[in-house]
Structure 1
C-alpha cells in the first residue's frame, strides 16, 4: 500500500477533508509528532507523500522549539530526493526556509475566510478548482518565494500564498485541508490568538458553515488533481 506521512504539530490540525481523496488513491495515512518523535530517525524519502502540517510557531523559532532544526533537515532530505512534498502554513514556510527563502512576520495576522487571487500559473494549476471561493487563512508569518518556484496565489495582505516546484512540490499558506465541521476545535485551540488579534470567533464560525460544504468539494479536487499530476 502507498503511504502518506504527515508531520502533525497539533492534534486538531490534521489532513481533515483530504482523508477521503487520499484513501481513493490507495494511500495509508501515518502521522508523526515532531514534539515527541525523533525526526532524524524517520526515513523521510520512503513515504510516497510527505505532508508538513501547520502550527502557531515561527519557522525560524529553533531556539524556542529545537525540533524545528530536525524538521528542516527532514524536508531537505525529501527535496534532495525530488519526492512528492506538500507543506501547509508552517509546513510551506519550512519548505521555503529549507530552500533558502526568508520567512518572517506580517504587519497583521490573516485569519478567517477569504478567496485567493490566483496567478495565471495558479489558474492553470490544481488551485484553479478554488478560484473565487473563500478559503481558511490562519497565519501571522509569510514566506518569500523560494528560488526556482512558481507563484500560484496571493492575497491583498500576503503576496506569496502558494508556490509550486515542478509537479510534485506544493506549498500552501492557507488551510485547504481544514474540515469546516471541526472549526470549533480551531476556535478553542487558537482562542488566545483570536483574542490577541481582535478576531471574533462567531464570524469565523458562521463563515465555516457558509463556505465549508463547497470548499470541501473544491479542496478535494485540488488534491486529486495535484496527485494525478505526479503519479
Structure 2
C-alpha cells in the first residue's frame, strides 16, 4: 500500500498511522500545503490520507490551494482510490461528495465517547469507545454514505462511502506528543463550552492514546483489505 498524505498544518501529522505504515514497510509520501508542496501524480499512490487543519472546507477565498485540493480528492474518489479523511479531511470528503459543511454550535475538544452504529463493525470499532476530538465544524451525510456514529456534541462523526472512502470527524491517530503539539498551537480554541476539556485532562490518561491508536490500526486494516478486494476484482 502506497500512502499519500495531504497535510495542512505542521502540528497535525499522521501520528500513529505513520508508525503503522513503517511497521509494515508501506511507503508514505506527503503534500505539505503549509510548505507550498505541489500535488503528486494520481498514479503514485493507492491510499489518500487527508488530515486535519485550522481552515474550513468552505475557505476557498482564504486558502489559495483549497480548490485544487478538493478537485484532487474528488478525482481520487472517482478513480476508485482508497481515501481516508480525518477531521478537516472528513469535512473535505463530505464536501466533495455534495454534503453541507458548516460551523457547529459548540466546539468539541478533548476525549469524548463515540456511540457507533452497527455499520462501524466493519472497521473493528465497538459500540462505544473514547476518541480524541478537536473541531468546530460539522457535516451532513453525503448521499449514499453509511453513517458510522455520533457523540453527545455531534450527530455525524463519520461515514463510509462505496466501501473504500472513510471519513472520521474524530481522531484515533493522535499520540501524546501530537496532542501536545495541537494544544501548543491551538490552546486559544479551548473555551468553556459544554464539550471542551481543559488541557491537563487531555493528557492525563496515556492509555486512552494507546487504545485509540490500536483502533486506528484496525481502520487501516480495513482499508488494506478493501484495497486487496479491489485489486482482485480488477486484476
Query: 2:221 pairs with 216, 221, 224, which one?
Result: 224
Corresponding residue for residue 26 of structure 2: 27
How many residue pairs match? The answer is: 225
Q: 1:213 aligns with which of 207, 210, 214?
A: 210
Instruction: Give the whole-Å Cα distance in 1 for the aligned partners of 2:42 and 2:87.
Output: 19
Partner of 1:51: 49
Q: Whole-Å Cα distance in 2 between the matches of residues 175 and 94 of structure 1?
A: 15
Return structure 1 stretches of 4+ with deviation > 4 angstroms.
Answer: 195-199
Per-residue CA shift, 1:141-193, capped at 9, x if unaligned?
Answer: 01110111111111122111110012211001011111124321111011221
* Contact kept in structure 2, 1:34 and 1:71, CA below 8 Å: no
Counterpart of 1:87?
85
Structure 1 unaligned segments of length 5 or more: list them.
none
Answer whether contact 1:103 1:143 (CA < 8 A) is retained: yes
Match of 1:187 in 2: 183
Q: Given the alignment of the two structures, is residue 37 of structure 1 paired with residue 37 of structure 2, yes or no?
A: yes
The TM-score normalised by the length of structure 1 is: 0.90
Q: Secondary structure at the match of 1:109?
A: strand
How far apart, in 2, do the equivalents of 1:81 and 1:216 lie?
29
State the TM-score, normalizing by the size of structure 2. 0.88
SS at match of 1:97: helix
